[in-house]
Structure 1
């Protein structure tokens, strides 16, 4: 069957920021590229918080996540890669010619010489609130992410959590909501220092170390919550406080699982693919980039995901063609853009 399939130089599994940039960069390296994404849309975890402002992309002013996704997709399509959506990868095998045959959940197969895994943390599920009736309110005013900031206009909002997302959402809502309270079970917040400092100096009410204890509402909505101070061992101190709320946002992290990939013979731990400084996974011809890749001195920023993608693609290129240069002309001097630059300049005039 494999000799009837169209053969690609590189197949990128995962359409988040790392995978999208790899699709663009592999085009710069004149590689025949396919991108496979398990969900119906590209963008990865950026789609979980479309209205959130992204500050850490070099040379770009703050941009909403949904706008960044749009721009990344446009950039990824520069060299016309084949893009496949709604296909979860189930397994791979080597062909007798040395290529990889990728098998998807739909039964479709893909033939490629190299693979770049940019799967984030794999299958991700939010850590749900373990309180009575929590699931009942998920369709009304109990939320696990913020998809539309305007929804919270004039509302009393309580946020439970202390990581980056909880801190970012608190800051984003402080000028929109009527009241914002953040409840965290530890003394220290885990968000980026500057964002934490901004939150602490704002009008946001901070309750720590506190945790949600009870949800109080009717058959449809939460009207108030009971919070209580908590010890470092998770024991409530029975100093119960009732807080009136219009919405509750829970950010207690994600349960991640890289799934079947851990059985492919790669170097892995529970959440990551372990790679070396060439982004190699332990199987020749397979690389990893972005959140899925773990290595020394990892930079856990979008800038790091883009760098991972370029490094992995460069090594995939030299794996296919050892005589190829390890890197390429910077984009402003790369001849592959000559015609495109002329078209842009003409449109500007």
Structure 2
């Protein structure tokens, strides 16, 4: 059984930065992520959006930020496993932990860092006729690459920030954009909604009834007024269902970690109630502190968590080993 100083659960921006910082401190690290691509919400939810709240970048495409974080995380060669989920946690007689994954693999570790954000993400589906049949054949739940929608007739379903933002983002490259929302009140920013009506055809009080196609791709969608039940069928090349994603924490709430709702409670050292287990990022709630679900906050938290873990593993180590710019004190890439 492979043994590690730290297993990081979660390959989003916080987990990736944690992998960099822990290996910088000469820790043997395994990073486990349930998605098929590292980057977390940056690649799953909004890869084509600009991120403004990360230090050093006045604005950076989310997907590009993910690429930079993956590159940084791999500098000192942590082990990485994707499409795998940390399922069961057992404590060993020598004070270490064994993590068993949904693939049946087992890994032994001195510490565990949970940076799972919202958990395993899966899109919220409508259940409309033809939706599953044409998933990834014209039905999508997010926009991975804007260029894939160039010159297409697009139908967007939703009334939140994501739905409206996709409409605004795709309107300049699409042939046409239609957005439907089941109410007449939007959850998106007012300024964005005003702009939406200038670039897209908007139907409020409307829902998606059916997605139609030729077996290979989407060709039409039937929508209906949920007040009058009147239907209309429109020609579309793509349907983007933007009604949110669900986060699944799996068996982690059964690990014995103190939680409040979906949040893992930590102290200011990012320690949970279980010795050697830490949490950082969106999943963490520092007791007595406000919660800010920002990447920048997660970066600071995970730097604290990995540094405290280093001291936990090696009592002779310093929590703060110096600045990474003094690379001779650390490892050289």
Q: Does 1:210 align with 2:191?
A: no
Out of 71, 76, 81, the position equivalent to 1:79 is 76
Distance 1:54 1:206 in 2: 27
Partner of 2:98: 101
CA contact (8 A) 2:221 2:234 kept: yes
Q: Does 1:173 align with 2:170?
A: yes
Aligned-residue offset at 1:334: 5.0
Distance 1:273 1:78 in 2: 29
Give the structure with the larger helix fraction.
Answer: 1
> Structure 2: which 5+ residue stretches go unaligned?
none
Q: Does 1:275 align with 2:271?
A: no
Distance 1:271 1:254 in 2: 15
Partner of 1:28: 24
Partner of 1:293: 284
Out of 293, 313, 318, the position equivalent to 2:311 is 318
TM-score relative to the length of structure 1 = 0.81
Aligned-residue offset at 1:13: 1.5
Partner of 1:120: 117
> Structure 1: which 5+ residue stretches go unaligned?
229-235, 341-349
CA contact (8 A) 1:36 1:84 kept: yes
Distance 2:63 2:194 in 1: 27
Partner of 1:201: 195
Distance 1:152 1:308 in 2: 38
Distance 2:14 2:230 in 1: 45
Superposed CA RMSD: 2.9
CA contact (8 A) 1:88 1:104 kept: yes
Partner of 1:248: 239
Greater alpha carbon shift after TM alignment, 204-213 vs 117-126: 204-213
CA contact (8 A) 2:13 2:69 kept: yes
SS, match of residue 112 in structure 1 = strand
CA contact (8 A) 1:156 1:244 kept: no
CA contact (8 A) 1:101 1:109 kept: yes
Distance 1:215 1:324 in 2: 61
CA contact (8 A) 2:149 2:174 kept: yes
Partner of 2:34: 38
CA contact (8 A) 1:101 1:112 kept: yes
Once the two structures are superposed, residues 176-211 of structure 1 have per-residue CA deviations (whole angstroms, 9 ceiling, x without a partner) of: 1122233334555445x4xx6245335333747533
Aligned-residue offset at 1:304: 2.5
TM-score relative to the length of structure 2 = 0.84
Partner of 1:10: 6
Greater alpha carbon shift after TM alignment, 153-162 vs 263-272: 263-272
The verdict on how the C-alpha distance between 1:257 and 1:65 changes in structure 2, with shifts beyond 3 A counting, is same
Aligned-residue offset at 1:321: 4.1
Distance 1:265 1:127 in 2: 29
Distance 1:339 1:134 in 2: 50
